[in-house]
Amino acid sequence: MSTEKAPLHARSVQHDFAWKLRLTHPDRAEIRVEWHGRPVVFDPVQVQPGDLVVLTSAAPDRIRGTAAAVASGARPDVIADQAILDWLRKQGGVGPDSAPGGEVSGVRFDAVAYTAPAPVRAGTHFLKASIGALRPRITLAALAESARIAPVEGVKPRAWQLTFPAGRLVHLDLALTRATPPAWLQAAQVLHGADWLIVGCAYGESEAVAAQIGVFGAGQVLVTELVNGERRARGLPTEGVTLLRDRLHAAKIPAHVFATQASYRFE
């Protein structure tokens, strides 16, 4: 494995990579996955031509970039919950390879739904009280966006497993919190033993992530900043993931910080 932090290219380089997988974290919750086949991108801020998009949920920050691409007539191929696909089709359409799961472009997509922590949106009491008066334009824009995607906002988010020829990648997103039931951890057996595991941390939930991540037995754990960009935009406090990574190291779990604008190559 090697790590790099440098300016990111807008498009993936198409050639036979000398590594098994390259993961790049451009901004917000977007994670780009490059291998010798078609690029896969989770929750893109901006969809690039040829991307195979995977949506972890219908939360505004996760679906915004894909919805914009659909509205522009781009018709990207999207892997997502069926309700999200149906909604995107009404907004302008998606590509022919769009599906709720299964094998697409040489990659197997499997998902396990989970109950999300409280979303970051302008409708919460905290945001109304602390931000509404200070940043009315931001608050009103967030409220309008939430209303626009209301038909799918209640869809449960998904933890995704992608099976590539060279190994398995699991994106747990924000599934691990104090409220995560033991029954869900048991039901998520399909996600155990991945070669690479992406895990986010909802605000204030680092202790829960540290306590639960070990049961997944992943080869490499990437502790990923998935919510800080959204929280900063809303004027909310944030917490880094370095201390969580350190706790996992102390527990003998191979973990790495996956910050915005960072990139990892696994050889």
Q: Is the pLDDT of residue 3 over 50?
A: yes
Q: What is the mean pLDDT of residues 9-31?
A: 75
Pairing of strands 196-199, 220-224: parallel
Secondary structure (DSSP) of 141-204:
HHHHHHHHTHHHHTSPPEEEEEEETTEEEEEEET--STT--HHHHHHGGGGTT-SEEEE---TT
pLDDT the model gives residue 148: 55
Q: Convert the pLDDT of each residue in 173-186 to its tens digit.
A: 999 999 999 999 99
Q: Is the pLDDT of residue 127 over 60?
A: no
Q: Is the pLDDT of residue 162 over 70?
A: yes
Q: Which residue has the tokens 């939930």?
A: 205
SS (H, E, C) 33-46: EECCCCCEEECCCC
Q: Is the pLDDT of residue 155 over 70?
A: yes
pLDDT the model gives residue 19: 84
pLDDT band at 117 (very low <50, low <70, confident <90, very high): confident
Q: What is the mean pLDDT of residues 249-254?
A: 95
Distance (Å) of CA 227 to CA 22, 40, 134, 156, 195: 21, 20, 22, 17, 24
Q: Is the pLDDT of residue 31 over 60?
A: yes
Retrieve residue 39's tokens: 């690029």
Between 124 and 117, the more confident residue is 117
Domains and CATH numbers, the chain: 2-8+17-266 (3.60.15.10)
Distance (Å) of CA 262 to CA 22, 65, 258: 11, 20, 6
How far apart are alpha carbons 240 and 203 in whole angstroms?
9
Q: What is the pTM assigned to this prediction?
A: 0.85
Residue 91 phi, psi (nearest 5)? -85, -15
pLDDT the model gives residue 138: 47
Retrieve residue 11's tokens: 């498009």
| Closest-CA residue to 25 (of 243, 267, 264) | 264
Which of 34-43, 57-66, 71-80, 134-143 has the least mean pLDDT? 134-143
